[in-house]
Amino acid sequence: MMSSSIVHADSVWDKDISSLATSLALEQSNNIYNSSAHRIAASAYTLTIANNSTLLFEGYGLALPFSISHATYSNIDTLDNTAYQLRPQLQLFLSPDATVKLNAGLTKEQLISGDSGVELFKSGPQPLSKKQQRLDATLQIGKAPENRFFSINIRYLKNNINNDHSSSSNDSRQISSRYGYKISEDSYLQLSGRYASQRINQLSSQLVEGGLGFITGLGGSNKLNVIVGGYKQIAQDKTGLFWTISDRWKISDLTTLNFSTSQRSVLSTDFRHVSQVTTTYQLDGSYQLNQHHEFLLALNNRQSKGVGANHYSKKQNLSIGWNWRVFEGIQLHSYISVAQQQRSNLLESPDINQRRVGLKVAYQW
């Protein structure tokens, strides 16, 4: 199902930016409810307006990205919805090698049971409303590739997910840090740690996590980032491995390949459990045919399992896309995707297939 919100990239802090974009998207799905028993085809029309602005002053910068979109569905009025995202950011430039970042976030979006973020919610045709509040502050000292670096982050995150039949409220308060030490021209050792206090409805737990890894340029055409370690959910007395690995390989001026995988203990998307283990593998690439045409390919595998329960979700997705820069400021994006999903908490067949075809026209000025 087409996401009704826009995810903004991190702001660029080297110049003033003022841009406004609007887009109109059409997506056709053969299985809008992520179900094997209630397979219903539907089309979604989504109109989005997004702003991305950054203002720089003496010693600090302010970014005010936001977006609002409205989606209308063919023959299913109950799915019509309006989504929004607001992410103000303040960055304080204490020195050339030290910055403080303050971020806030307020988002609202609609999800269907089985979508990423509600993958363990009990199946049902009624849509879910997800609201998220976020506050965090980061101190960054030093930066790659010039020298060693250290960062510490404090974050508060709260989610409310509900419809007429079920609801879930969860929040997390966490502190995390990362330290990198330069060992060669383009390589670093890095240490990471995290502590989080987590709660879902009346259930709570504490997470402790520590890892060791490295960053290397692999000759300049790659950027490999690896952290591997262990975690413990204290209330459940559950331990396990975590990792985050990513590699960006610029094969040529026209071709880029990205690989990433991670396994983390995260807040559960099933309100009956505090945490779940989510494992992802993703491979995506792009080929720039010329200045107007770009081809995209993405393979994704995501698995989530509730801690202490036999509840799981597995989803594999293949998508092919094409970007066409028609004129200055006007872009056309089309794609087709095929997904295979298995979920343990269904009364119906656990195997779900879904095909989507989409077309989006965007204008930025």
Domain ranges of the chain: 17-364
Q: So what's the pLDDT on residue 8?
A: 44
> Could you give the CA distance from residue 49 to residue 5 in angstroms, rounded to a whole number?
10
pLDDT at 237 over 90: no
The dihedral formed by the CA atoms of 184, 187, 189 and 191, expressed in degrees to the nearest 10? 140
Q: What's the rounded mean pLDDT across residues 105-124?
A: 87
User: How far apart, in whole angstroms, are the C-alpha atoms of residue 5 and residue 9?
Assistant: 13
pTM (global) more than 0.75:
yes
Class of domain 17-364: mainly beta
What pLDDT shows up at residue 279? 97
Q: CB pairs under 8 A, 24+ apart, for 177-184?
A: 177/150, 177/151, 177/152, 177/153, 178/149, 178/150, 178/151, 179/148, 179/149, 179/150, 180/142, 180/144, 180/148, 180/149, 180/150, 180/215, 181/148, 182/144, 182/145, 182/147, 182/148, 184/216
Banded pLDDT at 5 (limits 50, 70, 90): very low
Mean pLDDT of the chain: 90
Distance CA 165, CA 152 (A): 40
**What confidence score (pLDDT) does residue 6 get?**
42
Over the stretch 136-187, which tens digit does the pLDDT of each residue have? 999 999 876 567 899 999 999 999 998 888 888 999 999 999 999 988 888 8
- Give the closest residue to 185 by CA, choosing from 240, 152, 146: 146
